[in-house]
């Protein structure tokens, strides 16, 4: 993204970081940026398996916010990379609480996009007393219809990307596409697993933007990104996100009293706006901001500006109006 047109706060470095061992298999990378005595805010990355980047620190005024970021199980700098075993939504929710307790934080603003919005809702509904409010982008509710759309529906807008997504799978297996990918991603042949992960991750990266950004798309083919996204997205899709169907909407009463801004690209082909609309309708106090010139990516200019505006409104202690 061209920084000359960037609506984000200036780049900054963590003032501390570390590794949190959450069980015998997984150890999570975490970092804090901004004001150590400031208002806590938790950033939840997408994917599953996407990991955090330095750009993610920049949605928040560093003079005001104590910015907490971490890589979820199997993602980014957390180890082991791409590990799907002992990796479920309830465990991720428990990890967030373990991190909060380690950092001595009582309550925080919760900020998440795509799968990060899914996890933010799951965490908030499990621990509403720990949440001050929500800033959510590119809503994904992890329903069967949304998973089917990702696997098949995006072909309507990105036929060339979908054709490449199908390419590693023999014709006779494409009727059960998710299972076919699972067989390759979680098999014993590491080279086949990596090839499948690259194909899956490249497919998602190719469909993120309203206006293609070739460098960003290419980054999805790197081993570090592909192993996290390819394996963990397929793992969570195969298990319905480890939630009952439509659970996040059915449990909205648990957080309906909390303020929320929902930022959604009008032309989001990965997570179509209907999910954001359904969430907004189930959350009377929420504000939905549809960005007219954006797809799914957080760093498209209109989306990034709306996300910064939301964190600024919260900083100023205003209702989201």
Bridge partners (DSSP) listed for residue 33: 67
Task: Say whether 114 is catalytic.
Answer: yes
Domain 3-142+244-315 has CATH 3.40.50.1820: yes
Q: Give the model's pLDDT for residue 2.
A: 43
pLDDT at 143 over 70: yes
Mean of pLDDT values over 144-173: 97
Least confident of 44-53, 135-144, 222-231: 222-231
Active-site residue identified among 56, 268, 275, 280:
268
Both structure tokens of 305 = 């500006």
Confidence label for 6 from pLDDT (cuts 50, 70 and 90): low
Alpha-carbon dihedral of residues 304, 117, 84, 300, nearest 10 degrees?
Answer: -20
pLDDT at 99 over 60: yes
Q: Give the model's pLDDT for residue 5.
A: 56
Active-site residue identified among 56, 162, 235, 296:
296
- Which phi and psi (to 5°) does residue 300 adopt? -65, 140
Task: Say whether 296 is catalytic.
Answer: yes
Helices 177-185 and 223-238 cross at an angle (nearest 10°) of: 130
pLDDT at 308 over 70: yes
Q: What is the pLDDT of residues 184-243, one digit of tens each?
A: 999 999 999 999 999 999 999 999 999 988 887 888 888 889 999 999 999 999 999 999
Are 308 and 67 spatial neighbours (Cβ–Cβ below 8 Å)?
A: no
Bridge partners (DSSP) listed for residue 286: 260
Burial (0-12, 13-18, 19+ Cβ within 10 Å), 276: buried
Burial (0-12, 13-18, 19+ Cβ within 10 Å), 190: exposed
Per cent of the chain over pLDDT 70 is: 97
Confidence label for 152 from pLDDT (cuts 50, 70 and 90): very high
Q: Give the model's pLDDT for residue 191.
A: 94
Quote the mean pLDDT of the chain: 95
Domain spans of the chain, in order of start: 3-142+244-315, 145-241
Active-site residue identified among 78, 114, 193, 201:
114
pLDDT at 318 over 60: no
Confidence label for 320 from pLDDT (cuts 50, 70 and 90): very low
- Which phi and psi (to 5°) does residue 14 adopt? -65, 145
């Amino acid at each position: 993204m061209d920084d000359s047109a960037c609506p984000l706060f200036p780049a900054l470095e963590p003032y501390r970081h570390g590794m949190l061992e959450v069980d015998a298999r997984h150890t999570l990378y975490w970092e804090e940026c901004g004001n150590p005595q400031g208002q806590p805010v938790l950033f939840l990355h997408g994917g599953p398996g996407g990991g955090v980047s330095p750009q993610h620190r920049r949605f928040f005024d560093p003079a005001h916010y104590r910015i907490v970021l971490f890589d979820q199980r199997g993602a980014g700098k957390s180890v082991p990379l791409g590990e799907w075993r002992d990796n479920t939504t309830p465990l991720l929710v428990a990890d967030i609480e373990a991190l909060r307790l380690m950092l001595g934080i009582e309550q925080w603003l919760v900020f998440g996009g795509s799968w990060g919005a899914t996890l933010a809702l799951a965490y908030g509904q499990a621990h509403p007393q720990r949440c001050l409010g929500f800033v959510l982008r590119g809503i994904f509710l992890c329903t069967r219809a949304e998973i089917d759309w990702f696997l098949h529906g995006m072909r309507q807008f990105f036929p060339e990307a979908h054709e490449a997504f199908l390419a590693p799978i023999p014709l006779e297996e494409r009727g059960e596409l998710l299972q076919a990918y699972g067989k390759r991603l979680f098999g014993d042949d590491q080279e086949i697993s990596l090839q499948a992960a690259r194909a899956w991750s490249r497919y998602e990266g190719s469909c993120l933007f309203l206006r293609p950004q070739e460098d960003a798309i290419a980054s999805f083919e790197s081993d570090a990104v592909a192993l996290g996204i390819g394996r963990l997205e397929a793992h969570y899709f195969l298990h319905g996100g480890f939630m009952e169907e439509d659970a996040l909407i059915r449990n909205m009463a648990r957080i309906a009293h909390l303020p929320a801004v929902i930022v959604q690209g009008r032309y989001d082909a990965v997570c179509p706006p209907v999910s954001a609309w359904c969430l907004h309708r189930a959350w009377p106090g929420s504000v939905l901001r549809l960005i007219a010139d954006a797809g799914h990516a957080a760093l498209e200019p209109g989306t990034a500006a709306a996300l910064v505006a939301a964190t600024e409104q919260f900083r100023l202690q205003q209702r989201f109006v």
